[in-house]
Every structure is written in C-alpha cells, then in structure tokens.
Amino acid sequence: MKLFGSFRLLTKTTFFYLIFVLITFFVSARYLINKANQYVTEETEHIFEHRARHMARYIEEHDSIRNYKNNQIIPFQNLSDTIKFPQYSDTLIHFEDLDEYQIHRQKSTVVKANDKYYLLKMLININDFTKLKIDIAHRIVPSFIILALIIILFSAFMSGYLLKPFHKILDQMNQYKVGKGIQEHEVKTSTLEFKKMKFWFKRMVNRTEDDYLKLKEYTENMAHEIQTPLAIIRNKAERLIADENVMKEHKDSVKAIYHEANHLSKLGNTLNLLTKIENGEYTNTVQLKTKDVILNHIDSIKELADLKALNIESSLHDKHFILIDPFLFDIILKNLLRNAIRYASHDGPIKIETKEDSLTISNYGDKLKVKNQKIFERFYTSDNSNKSLGLGLSLVKRICDISQLQVDYQYLDNQHKFTITPS
C-alpha cells in the first residue's frame, strides 16, 4: 500500500530542525551585523566628538585656523544652515602605496569657538570594520551548509542504528496474521519506549489470537450444528413433497419450507467461508491461468443454464492469468456465474470474456433498483424492493480486496457487467 504525503518521523524532525537552524543562523547573522554597525557608529562618533573638541580648544587658544593641521575647517557664513548638520557619508579613498580603495566615514558638523561658527569635515578609516561585517555575512551560508550536512548524517545514523529495534518491531506487526500466531524474533534494545512497544504488541497479539480462536470455534460449531436440524427439515419436506395428498392442500407451504431450509444451509456455509477469508486462512496465492478453470465452470453450470433456456458464450484469452488462491477464484466464478443465470433475461447470451488483463462476465436483464456502489454490500435491499442481494457479491468483493484485485459493476446496453482487473 502506498502512503502518499507520509514521511518518517525522524525525517520530519530533521526537516523542521533544519528550518529552525536556518532561521536562527540568519537572525543571528542579522543581529551580529547590526551590532557591528552599531559598534562602528559609536566608535567613529566618539572619535569625531574628540576631534571636534580638540579643534574648538585650538581655535580658542590661537584664535586662528591657519596653522591647524586639519585643513577641512571652513568659517561658517550662513548661520541658518547649521540646522542641516551634522551630516554623515561613506566614501572611497584611493591609497597609492597600497594600490587599493578603502572605505572612510565622513562627518560634517558645525562647531562654535570664540563666538564664531566653523564647518568641520572629518574622515575616519572604517575599512577593517566593513570587511569584518562582510566576512560575517559571507560565512553564514557555508556554516549553515556544513551544519545541515552534519545534522543529516547524524539523522541517518539515528535512523539506521538507534531506530533499528523500532523497525524490527514494525516488521513483526506487518507480518502478523490472525490465526497464525506471532513469529517472535529477538529484538535487542535498551530503549524503554521500544521495550514497552514490544511488550504491548505481544500482549495485543495474545488477546487477538484468543478472541479469534473462540470466535472461530463458535462459528464452526454453529455452522456444523445448524446443518443437522436443517437436514432433518429438508428430509421431512421431501417426504411431504412426495405425498400427493399433502401437496394438494399445502403445496406452496411445503415448497417454501424446503426452499428456505436450503437457503439457510447455504447462508450458514457462506458466512463461515466469509469469516475464514477475512481471517486470512487462504494464502496459497499462485499465478493462475484462467482459461481451463473457466471452461470447467461453464461445463458445470451448462445444465442449469439449459433449464432456463439461456446461452453461454465465451471469448477467452490464452495468456490471461490472476494472482490468487485457486479455491478463492472458484468461489468468484461460481457466484458471478450463478448471479448471471439468476438475473439473466432471454434478450441475449451470458458472456464470459477475458483479455490480457481483465475478466468480464455479463448478462442481459432488467436494471436493478440498486445503486452501483451498494451492490457489493451484504444483504443490501433497495429502497423499492424487499428482495436482498444476499452474500454472493459481497463475498466476491471481499475476495478481490484481499487478493489485490478490483471488481467493478456496470449496467450498460441492457447488460449487467462485472469486470475484474488487477488493482
């Protein structure tokens, strides 16, 4: 059975953990970058303020900027523009001896000294800080990939080694069949949860086996014991049928008793058979070529078909086969053929056709007052009829289900068609 959209628990855990790690990595990287920017801003601002105070003291002491070593000092003319400062910008400056460009941060600010205003432009090299920030960003992706690979490898180790007892217990569960007992294999584990799982599985199997044996014994006893009174009823009914005087007065009642006794006997056998099938007692699956088997069944029902003046036509493919227990395939054929004879009309023949991958049995007849999806249900009765379809088709459906076969019903061109294909 294919399970779509399902994953191992460890695979899911690893996937969500990788997403968590990815988010954590990039949030941490963003935090570190922001902290680096904040550090650069605070350090440069501290240096800028120190230079501005130094320049203001120099002007106050010398009352001049002519000999000041920093020539980026300009007397301020328009005092109304001072509200635009300070201003910051980053710029590249080329160093010839290093033959490279380096990033500098520039601050333009206004300082006051001796009741005069000056525009001061200062530069600080922040190239190393910028390199550090870029290096942090660039190392995040490779670091995450390495960590992800380590997590995946560790998860594979976890799945192959630590979860090995868990998979062994699952295999035992998968192989278990009711009525066959449990083939217990030693599962060595020191994990408490796996020990509990093994204990409760074994306990569940023991309860299931006990209930199954009791139910099986009860069903078989009932099926066997009910045959004795039914045989007596049939025998008495046959004697009454042979008595002409009784038949003159009670013909319908005697025939009804005989018919219902036979029906009850068959019903008991069918229920017993259905129970055995559902409990998986028929496991002799073979690649069965169907042509000879179908021909034998046609011969066995030909007399019954002749009594109803029905023709049987067959078109059988030599290579058609089905993977199934031969006994169960016999049951399918018996039920579908008898069903065809029971509901057939004289508008056309009963047809049995096999192709390379399908088997179809069809017969002409009136449309049943039963929905297509309900026809395989046990004892289903249509809304407009008290007549039940019994167990035959339900038995066919159940056999197909356990044999990985698909059975479909269609009413098309005045024909009832049952088609069996591999599922």
Confidence (pLDDT) at 314 = 92
Domain at 286-422, CATH homologous superfamily:
Histidine kinase-like ATPase, C-terminal domain (3.30.565.10)
Q: What is the mean pLDDT of residues 327-331?
A: 88
Between residues 32 and 196, the one the model is more confident about: 196
pLDDT, mean of residues 215-226? 76
Bigger pLDDT: 270 or 106? 106
Phi, psi (rounded to 5 degrees) for 372: -55, -40
Q: Which two tokens stand for residue 180?
A: 């066959």
pLDDT at residue 296 is higher than 80: yes
User: Is pLDDT above 50 for 383?
Assistant: no
Grouping H, G, I as helix, E, B as strand and the rest as coil, residue 98 is: coil
Looking at residue 79, what is its pLDDT? 64
Q: What is the mean pLDDT of residues 322-334?
A: 89
Six token digits for residue 122: 């200062």
CB 202 within 8 A of CB 184: yes
Residue 1 confidence (pLDDT): 43
What percentage of the chain reaches a pLDDT higher than 90? 12
Which of the two residues, 214 and 136, has the higher pLDDT score? 214
pLDDT at 385 over 50: no
- Residue 242 pLDDT greater than 70, yes or no: yes
pLDDT of 305 above 80: yes
pLDDT at 256: 83
Residue 194: count of CB within 10 angstroms of its CB: 19
Tell me the angle at which helices 291-307 and 326-343 cross, rounded to the nearest 10 degrees: 30
What pLDDT is recorded for position 7? 64
For residue 61, name the pLDDT band (cuts at 50, 70, 90).
Answer: confident
For residue 13, CA distances in Å to 7, 10, 148, 152 come to 10, 5, 13, 11
Which position has the higher pLDDT, 250 or 287? 287
pLDDT digits (tens, 9 = 90+) for 135-184: 777 777 787 788 888 877 877 777 777 778 888 888 888 877 777 766 66
Lowest mean pLDDT among 185-199, 206-220, 349-363, 385-399: 385-399
Flag whether pLDDT at 380 surpasses 70. Answer: no
In whole angstroms, what is the distance from residue 98 CA to residue 101 CA? 8
pLDDT digits (tens, 9 = 90+) for 67-109: 555 557 777 666 666 677 888 888 888 887 878 888 888 888 8
pTM: 0.50
Quickly state the pLDDT bin for 384 (edges 50, 70, 90). Answer: very low
| pLDDT grade for 359, boundaries at 50, 70 and 90 | very high
Which pairing describes strands 286-289 and 350-355: parallel, antiparallel, or unpaired? unpaired
